[in-house]
C-alpha cells in the first residue's frame, strides 16, 4: 500500500512538473510547435548558453559577450511588436533562423522548420509573461517611398535632430559621445550599432532589409538604450531616416549610395554639414 | 536550483532510498533524462561556447547543423569565426584516445604447433592510437586542419593536413581545399560510432579482393589532392569533386607502395541532396564515384645490388561507385549504402601490364557489390544505440581458378553497441563505449579454404579534450 502510494506520488509529480511544458504551443505559418518536442531540442542545442532554466546563465555564459538571452525575463530585442510587448512566434522563429552575427548565437537555418517552431514553443515556457500576456500586434509598415536625395538629406536632418549621433556617432560608427557609457537592462556594457563596419548587411541584428531597419525605429530594441520612436516620428520621416542610414554604410552597394553619389556624394543637410566629423 | 531536465527525478531518488524500484528509476533517469548537455570536438566547443550535441547526433556523428558548420569551413557564419576575435589563450587543439579492454577472436586459424586450424583468442587492457587534432580558421573564410596521429609504439603520421579557402566569390558553392583530406563521403567512416578491431571500419570503404595489387586502400582512406566543393546555405544540397594523386594518401609520391614513383591522378566526385519530411527530419540521398589508376610494375635502378623503384608503370584503372541514403525517423536514423567496385584485370591478377602473357586462364577484372544498413537510436544526446549489418560479395573473381571458390573474399559482418556520455560539460568529452562486432570472410582459411569468423568485444572510455 505504502509502495503504491509512493509510486502514485511519483507519477503525480512527473505530471505536475511536465504539464505546463506540454501545454505551450507556437504557431509559425502552417506549423504548430510543441514545447515537449522543443524541450529535447533545447537541451541539445541551447542549454549550454541559455542554461537549463532559460535565464541565460548556461555554463558557457561567463565567457560569452554579448550575454545569452534571458528567456525568464522575456525581454526580446528583435520584435515586430511595439516596445514593451512580447514578440510574436514568428519573431522568435526568425531570430533562431537568422542568428546574431556579432554574438555567439549562430543561425539555425539547417534545423528542420518544425524543430525551430518547437524550440519557440519551449522558449515560451520559461517566463510567466507568456501565460499572463499575449504577444503584441505587429506594427504596420507602410510602403517604402522612392529613394531620393531629398529623402536622404531629410533623414540626415532627423539624425541630428533626434540626436541619433550621440550614440551612433556622426559617421554612424557607433562611437558617439554617449557610446562608452551605455549599458543594457542587465547592466552589461553595450555598443551602438556601427553602420560603417561591414560591407554587407550581415551585422544587422534584427534583419537586413530596409523594412527591418524601419521596424527597429518603431519597435525599439527592448533591453537596450535604443528606444522606440513610434510616438515621435512619422512614417515618411522614418523612411527618410532609413535612407540616410544606408548612406552611412559607405562600403555597401545600395540604391541610397547610388543616389547620393549621383548627387555629388555628400549629404547637404545644414545640420549634418555643421556637425560633420565632430562626433568622433 | 534545478532546471527542467531531470533535477526533480534526482531529488525523488534521494528522498525515497531503499527501494530497488526507485533505485532503478534513479539509474534509468540518469541515463535517459540527465540534465547535462552533450559535448563535441572540444576545440570547437571552447571556441563557440556551444555544446557538442549542437553539432553531433552523438559524437562523432554530425547532425545537420554540424554538417553545415563543417561545410562552412568550421565556421558558424558570425564574427566569432576569425581567430582574431578569440581570446589569445585559445588553443584550437583536441586530444583523443580510447583506453579499453577488448577481446579478439578468430576461428579456423592455421596454427604451427598443431598444423591444424583452430580458434585463436586474445584479450586484455589496451590503448587506441592517439589523435592530436588542431583545426579551425586561420582567418575568416580560410580554414585548416592538421591531424597527427599515432598508434601505440608507432611514429606519427598525418591523418590529414589541409587548408581550405571558403566561400570563394562570396558563395558557399565555391570552396577549395588543398592537402590531405577525407573524401567527402556524407556517411563518414571517420565520424562513426564503432571502434573495435572488427567493427571499426566499413568493409565497403576498405575492400580489395584477395590477391589484388591495387595500391588504393579504399574510399575510406584520406587522400592527397585538391577538392572543389559547395553547398546550399543550409547544406542540404552539396557537391564535391576532387583531383587526387594516385598515392592512397601516402606522402612522398608513393604509388603502389613505392615512394617517389607516382605520376597519375584519380578523380572523386560526390553529390547529395537533403529534404525535409514533416515531423521526421532531414532525409538525405547521394551518389559518389571514384575513378583511379594504380601501377602494375615500376621502372627501377639497381646500384650496388640495391634495386630502387623510380617510376610507376603500367598504370591500370579501377573504380568505385555507389549510392546512399540517410533516413531520419525522429530519434532513429538509418544509414544505407550500396557500392560497386571493379579493378582492372592486371590489378586483380597481380600481373604487370607489360606481361599480358602471364595472365592466368579466364582472367578478368574482379568486380564486387556491397552495402550496409546502419541504424542509430538516440535515446538522448547522452545515450545512443547503434547497430550495423554490412556485406561485400564478389560478383566476378579475377580468374578461373578463383571462380572455383566464388565466395572467396566475401565479407558479412554485423556490429551492435552503445555509447553513453556520462559527464558532459563544455570543455571535454567522455564516452563509455561498449561494442560487439563479428565478421565472416569467405573461404579465407589457409588450410581448408573455409569461411573464417572474427569477433571483437570492446569496452572502453573514448575521450577527447
Instruction: Supply the DSSP string of B108-164, one letter for each residue.
Output: EEEETTTTEEEEEEEEEEEE--EEEEEEEEEETTEEEEEEEEE-TTPPPEEEEEEEE
Question: What are the structural domains, with CATH classification, of chain A?
Answer: 22-132 (1.10.760.10), 149-275 (1.10.760)
CA geometry: angle B200, B206, B209, nearest 5 deg: 130
Q: Tell me, which fold does domain B36-464 have in CATH?
A: Porin (2.40.160)
Residue B147 is placed in which grid cell? 591531424
| Percent composition of chain A: helix, strand, coil (DSSP 3-state, to 5) | 45, 5, 50
What integer pLDDT is reported at residue B39 of this predicted model? 31
State the smallest CA–CA distance between residue A217 and chain B in angstroms. Answer: 24
Instruction: Kindly indicate the confidence band of residue B20, based on its pLDDT and cuts at 50, 70 and 90.
Output: very low
For residue B429 the three cell numbers come to: 568529452
Q: Per-residue pLDDT averaged across A266-273, rounded? A: 63
Could A63 and B53 be called an inter-chain contact, meaning their C-beta atoms sit closer than 8 Å? no
In the block, residue with C-alpha cell 566499413: B202
- Give B16's pLDDT tier (boundaries 50, 70, 90): very low
Measure CB to CB from residue B234 to each of A3, A17, A109 and give the nearest one. Answer: A109
- Burial label for B430, CB within 10 Å (0-12, 13-18, 19+), is middle
Q: What is the pLDDT of residue B91?
A: 76
Q: Do B80 and A104 touch (CB under 8 A)?
A: yes
Minimal-distance CA residue of chain A relative to B56: A44
pLDDT-wise least confident of A260-264, B140-144, B244-248, B272-276: A260-264
pLDDT bin (cut points 50, 70, 90) of residue B415 is very high
What is the overall mean pLDDT for chain B?
89
Q: Do B282 and A112 touch (CB under 8 A)?
A: yes
Contacts of A113 in chain B (CB under 8 A): 276
Mean pLDDT of B257-272: 96
* Whole-number pLDDT of residue A224: 93
Question: What pLDDT, on a 0 to 100 scale, did the predictor assign at position A200?
Answer: 66
For A200, which residue in chain B has the nearest alpha carbon? Answer: B170
Cα(A100)–Cα(A65) distance, rounded to whole angstroms?
A: 12
Helices (H), A162-279: 165-168, 210-219, 235-248, 255-262, 270-275
The answer for residues whose C-beta is within 8 angstroms of residue B263's C-beta and 6 or more apart is B253, B255, B311, B312, B315
Chain B residue numbers touching A13 (CB-CB < 8 A):
8, 12
Residue B164 pLDDT greater than 60, yes or no = yes
Chain A stretch 158-197, residues whose beta carbon is closer than 8 A to a beta carbon of chain B: none
Q: Identify the three-state secondary structure at position B73.
A: coil
pLDDT tens sequence across A115-139 = 999 999 999 999 999 999 999 999 9
Within 8 A by CB and 6+ apart from A169, the residues are A175, A176, A179, A192, A279, A280
Contacts with B258 (C-beta within 8 Å, 6 or more apart), sequence order: B295, B298, B309, B312
Residue range A146-152: mean pLDDT, rounded:
95
* Smallest Cα distance from B234 to chain A, Å: 5
Q: Is the pLDDT of residue A199 over 80?
A: no
pLDDT at B252: 95
- CB atoms under 10 Å from CB of B443, counted, come to 18
How many other CB atoms are found less than 10 A from the CB of residue B205? 24
Q: DSSP state, B3?
A: -
Smallest CA–CA separation between B319 and chain A, in Å? Answer: 33
- Can you give the pLDDT at residue B40? 40
What confidence tier does B41 reach under pLDDT thresholds 50, 70, 90? low
pLDDT in tens, A68-111: 999 999 999 999 999 999 999 999 999 999 999 888 899 999 99
Q: How far B226 CA sits from the closest chain A CA (Å)? A: 27
pLDDT digits (tens, 9 = 90+) for B288-335: 999 999 999 999 999 999 999 999 999 999 999 999 999 999 899 999
Predicted confidence at residue B464, as pLDDT, reads: 81
Q: How far apart are CA B426 and CA A79, in angstroms?
A: 31
Domain ranges of chain B: 1-35, 36-464
Which residues are within 8 A (CB) of B250 and not within 5 positions of it... i.e. 6 or more apart? B224, B259
Give the pLDDT band of residue B83 (cuts 50, 70, 90). confident
Give the number of beta-carbon pairs within 8 Å between A and B: 116
Residue B19 has pLDDT above 70, yes or no: no
Q: Which percentage of chain A shows pLDDT scores above 70?
A: 86
Query: Percent of chain B beyond pLDDT 70?
Result: 90
Question: Are A179 and A170 a contacting pair, CB within 8 Å?
Answer: no
Lowest mean pLDDT across A3-7, B253-257, B340-344: A3-7
Amino acid at each position: 500500500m505504502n509502495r503504491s502510494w509512493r509510486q502514485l506520488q511519483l507519477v503525480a509529480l512527473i505530471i505536475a512538473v511536465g504539464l505546463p511544458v506540454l501545454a505551450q504551443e507556437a504557431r509559425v505559418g502552417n506549423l504548430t510547435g510543441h514545447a515537449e518536442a522543443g524541450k529535447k531540442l533545447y537541451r541539445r542545442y541551447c542549454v549550454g548558453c541559455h542554461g537549463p532554466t532559460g535565464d541565460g546563465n548556461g555554463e558557457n555564459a561567463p565567457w560569452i559577450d554579448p550575454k545569452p538571452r534571458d528567456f525568464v525575463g522575456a525581454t526580446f530585442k528583435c520584435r515586430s511588436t511595439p516596445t514593451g510587448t512580447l514578440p510574436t512566434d514568428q519573431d522568435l522563429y526568425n531570430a533562431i533562423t537568422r542568428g546574431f552575427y556579432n554574438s555567439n548565437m549562430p543561425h539555425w537555418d539547417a534545423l528542420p522548420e518544425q524543430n525551430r517552431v518547437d524550440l519557440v514553443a519551449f522558449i515560451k515556457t520559461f517566463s510567466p509573461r507568456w501565460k499572463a500576456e499575449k504577444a503584441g500586434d505587429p506594427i504596420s509598415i507602410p510602403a517604402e517611398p522612392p529613394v531620393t536625395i531629398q529623402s536622404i538629406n531629410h533623414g540626415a536632418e532627423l539624425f541630428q535632430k533626434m540626436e541619433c549621433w550621440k550614440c551612433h556617432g556622426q559617421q554612424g560608427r557607433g562611437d558617439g559621445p554617449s557610446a562608452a557609457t551605455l549599458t543594457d537592462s542587465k547592466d552589461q556594457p553595450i555598443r551602438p550599432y556601427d553602420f560603417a563596419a561591414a560591407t554587407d548587411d550581415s551585422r544587422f541584428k534584427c534583419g537586413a532589409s530596409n523594412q527591418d531597419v524601419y521596424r527597429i525605429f518603431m519597435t525599439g530594441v527592448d533591453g537596450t538604450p535604443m528606444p522606440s520612436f513610434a510616438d515621435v516620428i512619422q512614417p515618411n520621416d522614418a523612411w527618410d531616416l532609413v535612407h540616410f542610414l544606408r548612406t552611412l554604410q559607405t562600403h555597401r552597394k545600395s540604391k541610397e549610395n547610388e543616389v547620393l553619389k549621383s548627387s555629388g556624394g555628400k549629404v547637404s543637410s545644414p545640420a549634418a554639414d555643421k556637425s560633420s566629423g565632430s562626433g568622433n | 536550483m534545478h532546471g527542467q531536465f531531470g533535477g526533480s527525478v534526482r531529488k525523488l531518488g534521494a528522498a525515497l532510498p531503499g527501494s530497488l524500484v526507485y533505485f532503478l528509476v534513479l539509474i534509468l533517469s540518469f541515463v535517459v533524462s540527465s540534465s547535462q548537455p552533450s559535448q563535441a570536438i572540444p576545440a570547437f566547443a571552447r571556441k563557440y561556447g556551444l555544446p557538442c550535441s549542437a553539432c553531433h547526433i552523438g559524437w562523432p556523428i554530425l547532425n545537420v547543423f554540424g554538417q553545415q558548420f563543417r561545410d562552412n569551413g568550421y565556421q558558424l557564419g558570425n564574427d566569432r569565426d576569425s581567430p582574431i576575435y578569440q581570446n589569445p589563450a585559445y588553443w584550437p587543439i583536441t586530444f583523443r584516445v580510447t583506453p579499453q579492454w577488448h577481446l579478439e577472436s578468430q576461428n579456423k586459424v592455421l596454427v604451427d604447433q598443431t598444423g591444424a586450424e583452430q580458434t585463436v583468442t586474445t584479450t586484455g587492457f589496451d590503448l587506441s592510437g592517439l589523435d592530436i587534432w588542431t583545426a579551425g580558421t586561420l582567418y575568416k573564410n580560410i580554414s585548416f586542419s592538421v591531424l597527427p596521429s599515432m598508434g601505440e609504439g608507432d611514429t606519427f603520421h598525418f591523418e590529414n593536413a589541409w587548408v581550405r579557402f571558403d566561400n570563394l566569390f562570396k558563395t558557399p558553392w565555391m570552396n577549395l581545399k588543398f592537402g590531405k583530406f577525407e573524401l567527402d563521403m556524407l556517411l563518414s567512416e571517420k565520424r562513426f560510432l564503432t571502434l573495435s578491431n572488427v567493427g571499426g571500419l566499413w568493409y565497403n570503404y576498405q575492400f580489395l579482393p584477395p590477391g589484388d595489387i591495387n595500391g588504393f586502400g579504399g574510399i575510406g582512406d584520406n587522400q592527397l589532392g585538391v577538392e572543389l566543393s559547395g553547398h546550399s546555405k543550409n547544406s542540404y544540397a552539396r557537391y564535391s569533386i576532387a583531383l587526387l594523386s594516385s598515392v592512397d594518401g601516402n606522402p612522398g609520391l608513393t604509388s603502389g607502395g613505392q615512394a617517389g614513383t607516382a605520376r597519375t591522378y584519380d578523380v572523386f566526385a560526390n553529390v547529395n541532396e537533403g529534404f525535409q519530411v514533416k515531423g521526421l527530419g532531414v532525409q538525405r540521398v547521394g551518389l559518389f564515384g571514384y575513378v583511379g589508376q594504380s601501377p602494375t610494375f615500376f621502372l627501377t635502378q639497381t646500384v650496388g645490388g640495391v634495386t630502387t623503384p623510380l617510376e610507376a608503370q603500367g598504370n591500370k584503372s579501377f573504380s568505385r561507385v555507389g549510392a546512399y541514403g540517410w533516413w531520419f525517423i525522429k530519434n532513429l536514423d538509418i544509414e544505407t549504402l550500396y557500392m560497386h567496385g571493379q579493378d582492372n584485370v592486371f590489378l586483380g591478377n597481380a600481373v604487370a601490364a607489360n606481361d599480358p602473357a602471364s595472365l592466368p586462364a579466364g582472367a578478368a577484372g574482379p568486380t564486387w557489390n556491397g552495402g550496409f544498413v546502419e541504424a542509430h537510436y538516440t535515446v538522448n544526446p547522452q545515450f545512443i544505440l547503434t547497430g550495423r549489418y554490412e556485406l561485400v560479395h564478389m560478383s566476378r573473381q579475377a580468374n578461373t581458378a578463383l571462380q572455383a571458390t566464388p565466395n572467396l573474399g566475401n565479407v558479412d559482418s554485423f556490429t551492435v553497441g552503445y555509447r553513453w556520455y556520462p559527464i558532459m560539460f563544455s570543455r571535454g568529452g567522455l564516452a563509455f563505449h561498449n561494442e560487439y562486432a563479428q565478421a565472416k570472410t569467405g573461404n579465407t582459411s589457409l588450410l581448408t579454404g573455409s569461411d573464417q569468423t572474427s569477433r571483437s568485444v570492446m569496452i572502453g572510455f573514448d575521450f577527447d579534450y
